[in-house]
Amino acid sequence: MRATWGRRMKETFAIVAIGDGAIELLSPREHSLLWEVGPEGTRKIARFFADNPGYMRLLGAGQVAFGLWVALRQYRD
């Protein structure tokens, strides 16, 4: 039972990563600006990605790939 919950948590993480990555691919500037909150360092990072949407799309593609990798590992057994 405990192993099932662990796998569910990993799959949930994968779903969130895939969804967030897809948003980064489709709307990188708006997504970055949505998270422009908190300490100045965090806001600078958000503005950097908003000003450089290609980097945000690259990050999103990586996030989608990582999420798919995590999800597919759950089905190997």
Give the pLDDT of the chain (77 residues) as one tens digit per residue: 778 898 899 999 999 999 999 999 999 999 999 999 999 999 999 999 999 999 999 999 999 999 999 999 888 76
pLDDT score for 2: 78
- Rounded Cα gap, residues 14 and 47, in angstroms: 26
Residue 34: its pLDDT value, please?
Answer: 95
Residue with tokens 């569910």: 8
**Stated pTM of the model:** 0.85
Predicted pLDDT of residue 76? 79
Distance of alpha carbon 20 from alpha carbon 63, whole angstroms: 8
- pLDDT attached to residue 71: 92
